[in-house]
Amino acid sequence: MSNAHAESRVVGILGGMGPAATVDFYDKLIKATPATKDQDHLRVVIWADPTVPDRTKALRSGGLDPTPWLDRGVENLVASGAEILVVPCNTIHAYLPAVVRDKNIHFISIIDAAVQQAQQAASAGKVGLLATQATLESGVYQEALGERGFETVVPSRRIQSRLMQVIYQVKAGDTGEAVRNVTASILDDLAAQGVTAVIAACTEISVLVSDLTASIPVIDPSHALALRTVAAAREPADSFERVHMKPN
C-alpha cells in the first residue's frame, strides 16, 4: 500500500491574518483530507505572523505596506520545504501576485478556488459577495466573477458598515449568537436582490458560515481552498513538478 504521507507535497500556510482564520483553515484542510490514520494526512508548515499590517488600512488609507512581511513569510516557508503556498486571507490577495512572482513555490489562490465553486453553485447570473471594504475596492473577486459571466452583487453602504463591524468582532474573538444573527440577516438581504449564491469572501466570515442556515448556497473560500490544496498536494510527484513548479 502506498504511503500517502511520504508522497504528499509539503503545504505552506501563510497565516496570522488573522489567527482564528488560520486555525479555521487548517481544521478544514484536515477534514478535507481522505485519511484513516495520522500518516495519511498532508505535511504542513505554518508561518503565522499576526504582525502583518492591517490589510484594509494599507489598501484604503495609506497604512503600512504588508509586502515585506509577506516576502519574509513566503521565504521562511520555502526554506522549510514548502512546495505549495496557500494564504487563508482574502484581502491580502491584492498583494500576493507580486510577492510570489519570483518564488519557487506553487501558489493556489483562494479567489480562484472560491469562484470556481460559485460557478458550480449559482443557478443564475448574480453572485453575492461578502468581503472587507478593501477587498471590494480591490476588485479581485469582481474581476474573476466577471470573467466567468457573473454579475457581482455587494451589500449597500449601510449593510457593508454592519458587516465590517462583524468582521472586527470575530477578530476580537466574538462569534456569538448576535454576530451570527447579523450575518444571517445580511445573507437574507442579498437573497432578496436575486442572487443565487454568495461568496463569504472574508476569512472571519468563513469562521461563522458553517453554523448558519441560509436560503441560498454560501461559498466558503477557506473550504474551497482546502479542497484545492488537498488535490494538489496528493498529485503524483512527476505530474506536480512538471505542471506546477518553477525552475530555480
Give 185's contacts (C-beta < 8 A, 6+ positions apart).
none
Question: Does 248 fall in a domain?
Answer: no
Q: What are phi and psi of 45, to 5 degrees?
A: -120, 130
Q: For the chain, what percent of residues have pLDDT higher than 90?
A: 69
Instruction: Decide: residue 49, CB within 10 A, 0-12 exposed, 13-18 middle, 19+ buried.
Output: middle
- Whole-number pLDDT of residue 246: 54
Question: Does 148 fall in a domain?
Answer: yes
Which regions of the chain are under pLDDT 70? 1-6, 237-248
Residue 161 Ramachandran class (φ > 0 left, ψ -120 to 50 alpha, else beta): alpha
Catalytic positions, written as ranges: 89, 202
Pick the closest to residue 203 from 44, 12, 25, 13 (CA basis). 25
- Whole-number pLDDT of residue 43: 97
Number of domains the chain is built from:
2
Pick the closest to residue 150 from 119, 113, 125, 170 (CA basis). 125
For residues 115 and 209, membership in a common domain is answered with yes
For residues 199 and 116, membership in a common domain is answered with yes
For residues 75 and 36, membership in a common domain is answered with yes
- Whole-number pLDDT of residue 237: 63
Question: Does 182 fall in a domain?
Answer: yes
Q: What are phi and psi of 212, to 5 degrees?
A: -100, 145
For residues 34 and 103, membership in a common domain is answered with yes
- Whole-number pLDDT of residue 220: 92
As a dihedral over the C-alpha atoms of residue 220, residue 221, residue 225, residue 228, rounded to 10 degrees, the angle is: 70
For residues 90 and 182, membership in a common domain is answered with no
Contact 222, 110 (CB under 8 A): yes
Is the Cα dihedral 177, 178, 179, 185 positive or negative?
A: positive
- Whole-number pLDDT of residue 202: 87
Question: Does 102 fall in a domain?
Answer: yes
**DSSP secondary structure string, the chain?**
---HHHHSPPEEEEE-SSHHHHHHHHHHHHHHS--SSGGGSPPEEEEE-TTSPPHHHHHHS-----HHHHHHHHHHHHHTT--EEE---SGGGGTHHHHHTTSSSEE--HHHHHHHHHHHH-SSSEEEEE--HHHHHHTHHHHHHHHTT-EEE---HHHHHHHHHHHHHHHTT--SHHHHHHHHHHHHHHHHTT-S-EEE-SHHHHHHHTT---SS-EE-HHHHHHHHHHHHHTS-HHHHHHHTPPP-
Cα separation of the two ends of the chain: 33
- The pTM is what? 0.85
Question: Does 92 fall in a domain?
Answer: yes
Q: Which domain holds residue 95?
A: 4-110+224-243
For residues 116 and 216, membership in a common domain is answered with yes
